[in-house]
Amino acid sequence: MSLNDKEWLIEVFENRSAFALRYRTKLFDEVSQFQNVQIFQTEFMGRALILDGCYMLTERDAAIYHEMLVHPAMSALPAPSHVLVIGGGDGGAVTQIVKYPKVRSVTLCEIDRMVVDACREFLPQIAAGLDDPRVQVLFEDGAAFVKAHAGEFDLILVDSTDPVGPAKTLFETSFYQSVKAALRDGGAAVFQTESPVFMSEVFLEAVGKLAGVFGDSRVYPYFATVPCYPGGLWSFTLCSDQVDPIKGPCSELSPALEQTLEYYTEEIRRAAFAAPAFVRRALSRQ
């Protein structure tokens, strides 16, 4: 069967592979100061958010990414009350964070207002947490913002796009240093660190830089499968001077929270930190 762009949303990765979904309707298509923002209604995976031709999320698998970005760190931290999300204009990470009554404030720092506005209109379930009264939405450069807010946050989540365009600075050592400085004592940061299969060089470089900033023994990569992302297998890296998400105590999910989740469980959390053999070998050679 042939594919054509009149019926299919095709993301080509480095001219070597592609992921495609058949779509019914284009719901939104505008160019912001930073990127082309599009939302489509697909036949199989619900609505899809596309930035500059790359899948950011689909309704069918967004919960995997957002739940895995947020909940491992929230369960490892004893009492996170002030949370910062850099990027994440779709609101999915914020929607997960505000499920915790112990959180007192959430700051979303997103550079592109158009992403937030479009997702609020066309992906309201994913963006629902943005309306929580504890949430402040700022349209600023995340790297500059975090540099100016030392020692203010218990948890920082870096929900960035790939390291191109405005997100490139979010993969630099200076940014990682600013994130560490913005944490309170005992705090933690989580970074999306790309695919260890299709983007192994970016993954290894990011983990290596984070180890240089936080220390080799304070960096914890973990993994989940997100179908719409290149390579499927995706990585996150949790960093903390004091919190150990593998050996340290982790709070159990409350029954009320557990009922809202689609992917994350206690068993998933424990398994996620078990790196595949090829990843362990690659990291050991760094």
CA dihedral 213, 214, 218, 221 (to 10 degrees): -50
Residue with tokens 């499927």: 232
Quote the distance between the C-alpha of residue 62 and its chain's center: 10
CA dihedral 132, 181, 56, 238 (to 10 degrees): -100
Q: Which active-site residues does the annotation give?
A: 159
Write down how long the chain is. 286
DSSP label of 178:
H
Is there a contact between 203 and 196 (Cβ–Cβ < 8 Å)?
Answer: yes
Euclidean distance between CA atoms 138 and 112, whole angstroms = 10
**What residues have CB less than 8 Å from 107, skipping those under 6 apart?**
82, 83, 84, 85, 135, 136, 138, 153
**What residues have CB less than 8 Å from 94, skipping those under 6 apart?**
85, 88, 106, 108, 129, 130, 132, 135
